[in-house]
Amino acid sequence: MGRSGRRAQRSDGARRHRPRGLRASTLDSLPATHRVSVHETATRRNAEFTFLDDTGHVTATKTLPAAQTAYVRDAFDYDSRTSSYQKYRRESVDLLPLRRGDVVLDVGCGTGLCFGLLEDRVGPAGRVVGIDASASMVELAEERVRTHRWDNVTLVPAPVEDARIPVTADAALFCATHDILQSQPALENVFSRLRPGSWVVASGGKWASTWKAAVNLCVLAVHEPFVSSFDGFARPWSLLESFVEGLKVTEVAFGGGYLALGRVAGAPGVR
C-alpha cells in the first residue's frame, strides 16, 4: 500500500499487495482474517481471504472479486475518497430510531466512519458491532476505535455471510454496502442476529431515472470503484424488502442515491 511504504511484488505476472495482519483487539473467538492479498491480471482481480484457527492452522479460504481494490490495496485512501458521502452517513444514522443502551450492527463498516455517529446515539451503555470483509479496512477501523477509546465497539473481520456475530442486536445499518444488500446469505446471517422489531436502515447509490443521463454518469463514476456489479442498482433495496416490514425509501442526490428504513417483524404494530 502506497502510504504504508509497502511495495508490490511481481509474481507470475500478478501483483500482490499484502496488508498487515489484524491486531489482537479483534475478537479472539472469531476465525481472524489473517492474510489478504489482491491478485491483479489483465482479465481478473480477486481478493483472497485466509481464515486461521487459534493454533494458526488454515480452516478456510475465500476468494472475493476485488472492487475491492478500493477496500484492500487502496484502503488508506478510502476516507478521503468518500468524504463527500459523510452527509449521507449522518442522515443514515439519524434515520435509525436508536436509544441509549441499544446494540447496533454496522454492516460493511469499512474504516468505521459511522462509529462516532452511532456512539453519539447509543452512548457508553450501548454497543456497536462493525463487520467488514477487508482486513485493511478493519485495521484502520481498529485505529479509529483506539484513538477515540471506544471500549464498546467490537470488530468482526469476515465476509458478512460468514461472520460470527457475537450479539443479538436492536438495529442494523447498511451504509453504502451495495454488494452486501444483493447477497441473500449475507442478509440471512445479519437478520438472524436481530431482535423482533429491530430497525434497519440502508443507504447508498442507485440509478436515477433513465432521462437523467448526467446524474447516472456521475453515479457510475462515483460508485464503480466500490461495487463488484451494478446488478440491482435500479432498486438496491429489493432483496431487503423480504426481510423487513413497511420499508420506506427516500431518493436523495437528484435520484442518484437513497435512504431506506424498515423494521423486522415481531414488535407491537409490526406484522
pLDDT in tens, 61-107: 555 454 455 555 565 565 556 666 788 899 999 999 999 999 999 99
Q: What confidence category does residue 47 fall into, taking pLDDT thresholds of 50, 70 and 90? A: very low
Only one residue has cell 453519539, namely 120
pTM: 0.73
Mean pLDDT value of segment 154-179? 96
The pLDDT value recorded for residue 230 is 87
pLDDT at 21 over 60: no
- Report residue 56 as a C-alpha cell: 494458526
* pLDDT at 13 exceeding the cut of 60: no
Q: Give the lowest-confidence range in 19-28, 96-105, 197-206, 243-252.
A: 19-28
Whole-angstrom Cα distance, residue 129 to residue 103?
Answer: 8
Chain-wide mean pLDDT for the chain? 78
Confidence of residue 137 (pLDDT cuts 50, 70, 90): confident
123 pLDDT more than 80: yes
Is the model's pLDDT at 46 over the cut of 90? no
Question: Per mean pLDDT, which range of 46-50, 152-156, 162-166, 180-184 is the poorest?
Answer: 46-50
Backbone dihedral angles phi then psi of residue 141, each to the nearest 5 degrees: -65, -40
Domains of the chain: 9-74 (no CATH), 78-263 (3.40.50.150)
Q: Is the pLDDT of residue 20 over 90?
A: no
For the segment 232-256, the average pLDDT, to the nearest whole number, is 96
- Using the predicted structure, report yes or no on whether residue 6 has a pLDDT greater than 90: no
The pLDDT confidence band at residue 223, using thresholds 50, 70 and 90, is confident
